[in-house]
Chain A
Amino acid sequence: MFYVRLFFHYWMQYLKIRMEYRSDFFVQLVTDLMFQGVNLVFIIVVFSHTADLSGWSREEVIFIYGYFLVPFSLFASFFNLWDFNERYIIKGELDRVLTRPAHSLFQVILETMTPESLSGGITGLLVMGWAGWKMGLELSWYDPLLFILFVLGGGAIYAGIYILLTSISLFSDSKTDIQPIMFNVGNYGRYPVDVYNKVIRTVLTWVIPFAFVGFYPASFFLNEERWMTLALLTPVVGLVWLYLGIKVWNWGIRNYRGAGN
């Protein structure tokens, strides 16, 4: 409860800061919308050239892509840990965080969140809606509920992996280039996994499970029987990775060496 209230307050403060630079805020909003629009056009143009992809129709591929954008936007809004090493370790902001009575990771997330990235999720929903409408997809009463669960699970997988990678900074402040690599690997989750060979498929499922962020749950809504079980595992995989990420983070905090003076 305390954390929910804290979240709310940080959110309000964030909005206030953004509103203070009002023109800036609107410019950003317009840019975001334009960016999402371009994104949308890009997706449709690219996919309209591929009739189908190893048994997947164009609409299905677009649907999966649109779905992927939703958990991804969740991740992009609340796990902006890109400059963690620079800002929190080298500049020493983590010292301040650690003298405050709330979980350190939670504070870092609240301080770095960019809720406007959620707009990507709206694009995703539009893309999904369009593709679903084209295919005449039908929804069951439980589909929206599962959708929320899957999106949270997918977001948690992304979050867990990135928290884990960010925690490396707590052990050593030297730069690592794993994050951008991982970011690229993450993109593989947006396409049907049966276009990849077996090794990559296994890696995307059991090692770095990005397939759970996009493909598996999306295929569930396309009424694909083949990956039904895997799709339903999404929230579980999400919990496992989030748990792992937080564990490693806590372990890292115990090893934290402080900002060098």
Chain B
Amino acid sequence: MRSIEAKGLTKDFKVYQSRSGLKGAFRDLLNRKYRMIRAVDHINLSIEQGEIVGYIGENGAGKSTTIKMLTGILEPTSGTLQVNGYDPHREREQFVRTIGVVFGQRSQLWWDIAVRESFRLLKKLYRIPDDSYRQHLDRLVEVLEIGSFLDQPVRKLSLGQRMRCELAAALLHRPRLLFLDEPTIGLDVLVKENIRHFLKQVNKEYGTTILLTTHDLSDIEALCSRVVMLDQGKIIYDGDLERLRSQWGDGRRLILELKDEISLSALNERSHGLALRWEGEGTRFVAHMENGTGVSDVLSRLVPAVTVREMKIEEATTEDIVRRIYREGITHHA
């Protein structure tokens, strides 16, 4: 069974506009003007059991609206949606037992009671049998290393400690699908690393499908084999990270520090026929190389005439790529 199967998934919001002044307020009372905003626009998404998928997009691109439809919080305006074999909104109460949710900016735990008590309440809510609960909790406590503060109330935990407890809470009932919304926001590097490691382990061990939204693209690089990118309510990219890189990475940059000064035109002349563009002056130059152009090709052309003192090869980071896509739109390249 597929974890997520969405066809033509759409969500419209009515946005009321208020007219100005007292007269406007009266007119609003009788006849409110509104316009429709399409937050999610005919999305087709199919995710197999066991995949880890990164869901990215700018603020307001429709990410959270999609997640809220997938988790059963919102009802779609149109389109069909099956998650874990359920209609998330209509069959909400049965459905949510098969998913786990972590919203990084909002606690799933009870603020005032000890973590352990929160877990106990969740056990009751999800009707987890005693033995299976104890066994699974022990394992989670061990792997996430949360044993030492299980008896403290959530409000006394640090962000990193809380996040680990949130993960344990979301996994207590062994969901087949885990939604993570900004799971590493505000965490330090080491904790981030641990959490990523843990998620990989969960995915491998239990075959849990993970859908991750994040602004931190290093999360995506570390975890996801597949990326879905959203812009203005539409999916603009769905595929593996490697392809995104090669399509959009625009090759590499070769940064050179030369011994003697040389003119730009002289360099252009030397590299004639190679797919690259020079930039710089004096002794510092940058070669923007298109895909397929090798560093060795460039160097073999230069070496007979100029002495290279220092050189560095830079590859575009995923962040650069994504930023570019947002700026230029995907159509530009496709």
Contact = CB atoms under 8 A, between A and B. Distances in A.
B64 interface: yes
B73 interface: yes
A16 B117 CA distance: 10
Contacts, number: 66
B71 A102 contact: no
A10 B59 CA distance: 37
B200 interface: no
A257 B69 CA distance: 10
A225 interface: no
Give the most central of A2, A17, A103, A172: most B CB within 10 Å. Answer: A17
Contact of A98 (B72, B120, B125, B126): B72
Contact of A101 (B59, B110, B113, B126): B126
B74 A257 contact: yes
B126 A99 contact: no
A22 B110 CA distance: 19
Contacts of A255: 75
Contacts of A17: 112-113
Interface string A219-257: 000000000000000000000000000000000001111
Contacts of A182: none
A98 B199 CA distance: 24
B34 to A, nearest CB: 11
Contact of A100 (B64, B125, B153): B125
A205 to B, nearest CB: 30
Give the most central of A16, A99, A103, A255: most B CB within 10 Å. Answer: A99
A93 B92 CA distance: 17
Contact of A6 (B108, B117, B124): B124
Contact of A95 (B103, B110, B127): B103
A115 B56 CA distance: 45
A100 B73 CA distance: 10
A197 interface: no
B65 interface: yes
B215 interface: no
Interface stretch (B93-101, B251-259, B282-290): B93-101
Q: A interface, how many residues as a size bin?
A: 20 to 34
A50 interface: no
B93 A256 contact: no
A100 B126 CA distance: 8
A186 interface: no
B73 A101 contact: no
B73 A98 contact: yes
A129 interface: no
Nearest to B153: A20
A257 B75 CA distance: 9
A95 B67 CA distance: 11
B165 to A, nearest CB: 15
B106 A95 contact: yes
Interface in B132-177: 153
B42 interface: no
A99 B99 contact: yes
B74 A103 contact: no
A261 B64 contact: yes
A1 to B, nearest CB: 11
A93 B105 CA distance: 11
Contacts of B92: 98
A255 B126 CA distance: 25
Contacts of A101: 93-94, 96-97, 125-127
A132 interface: no
A9 B124 contact: yes
A16 B89 CA distance: 34
A93 B135 CA distance: 30
B291 to A, nearest CB: 37
Contacts of A261: 59, 64
A20 B110 CA distance: 14
A258 B64 contact: yes
Nearest to A18: B112
Given A13-B110, A254-B89, A258-B64, A99 B121 contact: no
Interface in A95-151: 95-96, 98-103
B73 A103 contact: no
A256 B68 CA distance: 11
Nearest to A172: B16
B13 interface: yes
Contacts of A254: 75, 89
A108 to B, nearest CB: 14
A92 B106 contact: yes
Given A10-B121, A100-B125, A261-B64, 16 more contacts: A6-B125, A13-B117, A16-B113, A17-B112, A95-B68, A95-B106, A96-B103, A98-B71, A99-B71, A99-B101, A101-B93, A101-B96, A257-B13, A258-B68, A258-B73, A258-B74
24 contacts: A2-B127, A6-B124, A6-B125, A10-B121, A13-B113, A13-B117, A17-B113, A20-B112, A93-B106, A95-B103, A96-B108, A98-B73, A98-B96, A99-B96, A99-B101, A99-B108, A100-B96, A101-B93, A101-B96, A101-B127, A102-B125, A256-B73, A258-B64, A258-B74
